[in-house]
Amino acid sequence: SQTIHQWPATLVQPVGSPLSLECTVEGTSNPNLYWYRQAAGRGLQLLFYSVGIGQISSEVPQNLSASRPQDRQFILSSKKLLLSDSGFYLCAWTRGRQETQYFGPGTRLLVL
Amino acid sequence: KNEVEQSPQNLTAQEGEFITINCSYSVGISALHWLQQHPGGGIVSLFMLSSGKKKHGRLIATINIQEKHSSLHITASHPRDSAVYICAVRPLTQGGSEKLVFGKGTKLTVNP
């Protein structure tokens, strides 16, 4: 069966510090991968998606970047965190385009 | 105005009651998703539908493409159904899109 992992589960970082959140998927190959953010009081927002290694599409201009160094690994990064980067970050995968999304457990990020 | 509107924002019910959560959207779509987010933050995909009706256990989802409206029904509600229910749509775009647009969610509390 397929599983999706995210770490860390919770992170508290100072403003201006770097960020690296990792997402890995097991039990499938060539998944489509997604990063979402859920800010307090707001709906989920798609940040990045990837249909293959090294292929990243950005949905919104922001302080964050994403990379996919391996087939089942998706990384969300920032060089300098802002207060507004605080939120709940979710990784998700699908088998193909426009199919059911399976979400990871999420990472709560608090930038102080 | 958000492209996806859910109502009500909050809903409290007694165990056993029939629950209806509504979702209206303003753009043409290729699919609509209903998601369930538990208090810990984890998200589970309940349904993906593009027409008609789907049923899974005590959950029923319907969609009316012409009216741009979907409903999620829960029969014989139980305290374990307490969660935030999120509606998300995939807008129609030329060539297809990976982007989902999310509602802000409906927080359901079922009391014993």
Q: Three-state SS string across B42-95, please?
A: CEEEEEEECCEEEEECCEEEEEECCCCEEEEEECCCCHHHCEEEEEEEEECCCC
Q: What pairing do the DSSP bridges indicate for beta strands B52-56 and B59-64? A: antiparallel
- Report the residue of B43, B85, B90 to disrupt the A interface, i.e. the one with the largest count of A CBs within 10 Å: B43
pLDDT digits (tens, 9 = 90+) for A90-103: 999 998 776 888 99
Contacts of A103 in chain B (CB under 8 A): 35, 42-45
pLDDT digits (tens, 9 = 90+) for A45-82: 999 999 999 999 988 767 899 999 999 999 999 999 99
| pLDDT (0 to 100) of residue A88 | 95
CA of B29 to nearest chain A CA: how many angstroms apart? 11
**Helix %, strand %, coil % of chain A (to 5):** 5, 55, 40
Residue pairs spanning A and B at CB distance below 8 A: 55
Across A4-18, A54-68, B47-61, B82-96, least confident range: B82-96
CA of A31 to nearest chain B CA: how many angstroms apart? 13
Q: Does A95 touch chain B (CB under 8 A)?
A: no
Using the predicted structure, report yes or no on whether residue B46 has a pLDDT greater than 70: yes
pLDDT digits (tens, 9 = 90+) for A9-40: 999 999 999 999 999 999 999 999 999 999 88
Backbone CA torsion sign across B5, B46, B39, A81:
negative
User: What average pLDDT score do residues B52-77 get?
Assistant: 97
* CB of A9 closer than 8 Å to CB of A25: no
Residue A96 exposure: Cα atoms within 13 Å on the Cβ side: 1
Q: What is the CA radius of gyration of chain B?
A: 14
Chain position carrying tokens 């369930």? B36
| pLDDT (0 to 100) of residue B39 | 86
pLDDT band (50, 70, 90) for residue B40: confident
Nearest CB to A98: which of B4, B86, B96?
Answer: B96
**Average pLDDT for chain B:** 92
| pLDDT (0 to 100) of residue A47 | 93
| pLDDT (0 to 100) of residue B95 | 55
Using the predicted structure, report yes or no on whether residue A109 has a pLDDT greater than 70: yes
Higher pLDDT, A4 or B94: A4
Across A85-89, A96-100, B5-9, B20-24, least confident range: A96-100
* CB of A47 closer than 8 Å to CB of A92: no
